[in-house]
Amino acid sequence: MAGKRRDKSRVKNLTDLYLSGNMEAQGPEAQQRFSQRSAQAQHRKMEQTALLRAAEEAEIGQTELLPTGEVVQVYSLFSDVEAGGVMRLCVVRKTMAKVAETSLVVGDHVRFRDIGSTDEQGRPEAVIERILPRTTVLTRADSFKGIEQQPIVANAEQMLIVLSLHEPEVRWGLVDRMIVAAQSGGLRPIVCLNKSDLAGRAGDDIESATEVLAHYVRLGIRCLESSITSGVGLNDLRDLLRNKTTVLAGHSGVGKSSLIMAIEPSLDLRIGAISGYTGKGRHTTSSARRYRLALGGLVIDTPGVKLFGLWGVTRENLPGYFPDVENSTAPQWRLESFDRIMKSLPREEH
Ligand SMILES: Nc1nc2c(ncn2[C@@H]2O[C@H](COP(=O)(O)OP(=O)(O)O)[C@@H](O)[C@H]2O)c(=O)[nH]1
Ligand SMILES: [Mg+2]
């Protein structure tokens, strides 16, 4: 920070110096090293660089005053950004895209500058000048160990982990992994056993499921059972989602979209998944999309994402996510989940 500030004043002084015409007075030896011609070229270059940098600094200063918005969906080149109830079509400033450490993701808070034009749907067009610091982050699970994890959702407060005993059958080990994915990214996990109307069908083990949920509750994790056909749990779900930003997680087919549409019939969560193309040639690179709930709050559906990454989780700090393993109260299935996650982690933090 301090270094940056010093740099800024140095650039400013350099520009002032040039503009006041005193640049030549600075370095007689330097001048002698160049022929008249190349010295002129050198000057032009210095002038351009100094002015360009001064202009860049001025812009960075001004971004503090720009309005903020929230990213609703990201396409390959464009993004939908909502600010004050108005949806804008945005592009990221080229120079920012080059220097930014990560790319723009759903849920990002940004500063934008309106450019005075509208798209074919009449929405204002704007340039994103800055991504504001994230409070939480979810990454894509990366099978290539050691490669930087790729963020996919920012600033969500909680993760609704949906599972079902039938169609598809639950895999508790993956639920344990999703809990770590949520907690490591700074999100509160909520476990929702959906399709409770199907419980008792041949081959299921509702007693074991009830025991598993009771164990999670002992670990301080909020759990609920739900069904869109019987309506069980839907009021609890409304209360849990109200005024919160929630990411949906869980295998395809467990009923994530159905649950949200059951509590908010006006929403169609299938839209984000299929509208890969719109007028300006926008293609979805990530189908993750944020929806506003009339009851208050936001949900983010990530239909393209099978598994979230474990943000900053290492072999050293994994036990912190398994307090039951640490204090020897973990049942066998939790010990197995712990071992499986441990084995999947690289030896060094990435
Ligand atoms: N019996 C039963 N079926 C459900 C329930 N919730 C969802 N489904 C069905 O499960 C299928 C997959 O649901 P969907 O919402 O698309 O799952 P998603 O892939 O997790 O978003 C659909 O045929 C739903 O009608 C439920 O509570 N009970
Ligand atoms: Mg869905």
Domain range list for the chain: 2-63, 68-131, 156-344
* Ligand 1 midpoint to CA 114 (Å): 41
Closest CA to 338 of 326, 348, 346, 350: 326
Average of pLDDT values for 36-63? 65
* Number of other CB atoms surrounding residue 324 within 10 Å: 16
* Ligand 2 midpoint to CA 227 (Å): 15
Confidence check: pLDDT of 23 > 80: no
Gap between the terminal Cα atoms of the chain? 24
Higher pLDDT, 39 or 267: 267
Higher pLDDT, 145 or 76: 76
Closest CA to 153 of 135, 130, 177: 135
Task: Say which ligand is closest to the CA of 255.
Answer: 1
Output the CA torsion 69→74→76→80 (10° steps): -50
Beta bridge partners of 190: 160, 222
* Best mutation site among 192, 198, 227, 258 for ligand 1 pocket (most ligand atoms within 8 Å of CB): 258
Protein residue closest via CA to atom 1 of ligand 1 = 195
* Ligand 1 midpoint to CA 194 (Å): 8
In contact, 226 and 192? CB cutoff 8 Å:
yes
Q: Give the CATH number of domain 68-131; options: 2.20.28.270, 1.10.3720.10, 3.50.50.60, 2.40.50.140.
A: 2.40.50.140
Average pLDDT, the chain: 82
Protein residue closest via CA to atom 3 of ligand 1 = 195
Q: Ranked by mean pLDDT, which of 9-13, 99-103, 251-255, 339-343 comes out on top?
A: 339-343
Confidence check: pLDDT of 278 > 80: no
Say what percent of the chain tops pLDDT 90. Answer: 53
What backbone phi and psi angles, to 5 degrees, belong to 77? -115, -25
Rg (CA), the chain: 26
Higher pLDDT, 115 or 23: 115
Confidence check: pLDDT of 272 > 60: no
Q: Ranked by mean pLDDT, which of 64-78, 221-235, 256-270 comes out on top?
A: 221-235
* Atom number, ligand 1, closest to the C-alpha of residue 228: 27
Task: Say which ligand is closest to the CA of 225.
Answer: 1
Q: Is 233 in the pocket of ligand 1 (CB under 6 A)?
A: no
Confidence check: pLDDT of 297 > 50: yes
Q: Which range, of 53-67, 209-223, 267-281, averages the lowest pLDDT?
A: 267-281
Distances (CA, A) of 323 to 132, 178, 285, 336, 338: 33, 16, 37, 14, 11
Higher pLDDT, 55 or 265: 265
Q: What is the pLDDT of residues 228-260, one digit of tens each?
A: 999 999 999 999 999 999 999 998 889 999 999
- Beta-carbon contacts of 84 under 8 Å, excluding residues fewer than 6 positions away, are 67
Angle at 306 between CA 305 and CA 310, to 5 degrees: 90
**Residue 137 Ramachandran class (φ > 0 left, ψ -120 to 50 alpha, else beta):** beta
Protein residue closest via CA to atom 2 of ligand 1 = 195
Q: Is 287 in the pocket of ligand 1 (CB under 6 A)?
A: no
Q: Is 252 in the pocket of ligand 1 (CB under 6 A)?
A: yes
In contact, 149 and 184? CB cutoff 8 Å:
no
Q: What is the pLDDT of residue 140?
A: 85
* Ligand 1 midpoint to CA 168 (Å): 10
Q: What is the pLDDT of residue 274?
A: 39
Higher pLDDT, 85 or 201: 85
Task: Say which ligand is closest to the CA of 160.
Answer: 1
In contact, 229 and 259? CB cutoff 8 Å:
no
Q: What token pair was written down for 122?
A: 């009449």
In contact, 263 and 228? CB cutoff 8 Å:
no
Place of tokens 């999703």: 178
* Atom number, ligand 1, closest to the C-alpha of residue 254: 20
Q: Is 197 in the pocket of ligand 1 (CB under 6 A)?
A: yes
Confidence check: pLDDT of 190 > 60: yes
pTM of the model: 0.79
Containing 90, the helix (H) or strand (E) segment is strand 86-92
Task: Say which ligand is closest to the CA of 258.
Answer: 1
- Which top CATH class is 156-344? alpha beta
* Ligand 1 midpoint to CA 53 (Å): 55
Closest CA to 110 of 158, 66, 56, 75: 66
Confidence check: pLDDT of 107 > 80: yes
Confidence check: pLDDT of 97 > 80: no
The strand ranges marked E within 93-181 are 109-118, 124-131, 137-140, 150-154, 158-164
Closest CA to 187 of 137, 248, 149: 137
Distances (CA, A) of 135 to 158, 178, 186, 290: 12, 19, 8, 17
Burial of 49 (C-beta count, 10 Å sphere; 0-12/13-18/19+): middle
Q: Is 198 in the pocket of ligand 1 (CB under 6 A)?
A: yes
